Chain A
Amino acid sequence: GENVEQHPSTLSVQEGDSAVIKCTYSDSASNYFPWYKQELGKRPQLIIDIRSNVGEKKDQRIAVTLNKTAKHFSLHITETQPEDSAVYFCAASGNSGYALNFGKGTSLLVTP
């Protein structure tokens, strides 16, 4: 089945710096790659997603890039703010189509 690897597991940046989180996947049939932000004790929130026919997508301070050949995708957060501190999960659609396979998460800490 699909295997999604995510790194780093923890990331600490200064406010205003950029943060990059990387994921790799194993199933070449995967075609949908969402990113979720989860604050402590809260629900995972969809922050951005990308489909396999697109190489890059941007939404204000957040961008995602996809390299289908290498089977990896990345989340980029620019001008980080303390409220960006959370656990971020990448996911990939499995070969069954709709079930999402999640990475283990990256705990991002943005210090003022």
Chain B
Amino acid sequence: NAGVMQNPRHLVRRRGQEARLRCSPMKGHSHVYWYRQLPEEGLKFMVYLQKENIIDESGMPKERFSAEFPKEGPSILRIQQVVRGDSAAYFCASSPQGSEETQYFGPGTRLLVL
């Protein structure tokens, strides 16, 4: 079992560009969560998705950020018109049906906005 996969592992963008972060859940997991971690901080919940559905996006900034988990393919976290404050580590986690709280994390994508 390869575990939760994320790519890219590192991403550098200039202000105003778009960032696309991908997450493939563990085999057999149908629930995906995105968290953001700032340096020296804990993880902050952003969004919870199931296939083709956004279940909870209460932690997602209202503008520039969007997420999807299509029927086929990985979950995507998209940040438009990035600003320096978006620089952080973005972690994806997945959980199996029936044990949604038990979340296993991917290696993260470290986004640096210049």
Contact = CB atoms under 8 A, between A and B. Distances in A.
Chains A and B form a bound pair:
yes
Interface of A: 4, 6, 32, 34, 36, 42-46, 49, 89, 91, 93-94, 96-105
A34 to B, nearest CB: 7
Contacts of A97: 56, 100-101
B61 to A, nearest CB: 15
B104 A98 contact: no
Given A46-B102, A97-B100, A102 B107 contact: no
Interface stretch (B39-47, B64-72, B79-87): B39-47
A109 to B, nearest CB: 15
Given A43-B91, A43-B108, A44-B91, A100 B58 contact: no
A111 B93 CA distance: 32
B81 to A, nearest CB: 26
A32 B101 CA distance: 7
Q: Would you call the interface of chain A mostly helix, strand, loop, or mixed?
A: strand
Contact of B42 (A32, A93, A102): A102
Nearest to A49: B102
Contact of B31 (A4, A44, A98): A98
Nearest to A51: B101
Contact of B107 (A42, A91, A94, A101): A42
A93 B93 CA distance: 14
Given A42-B107, A43-B107, A44-B91, A98 B101 contact: yes
B45 A101 contact: yes
Contacts of B40: 104-105
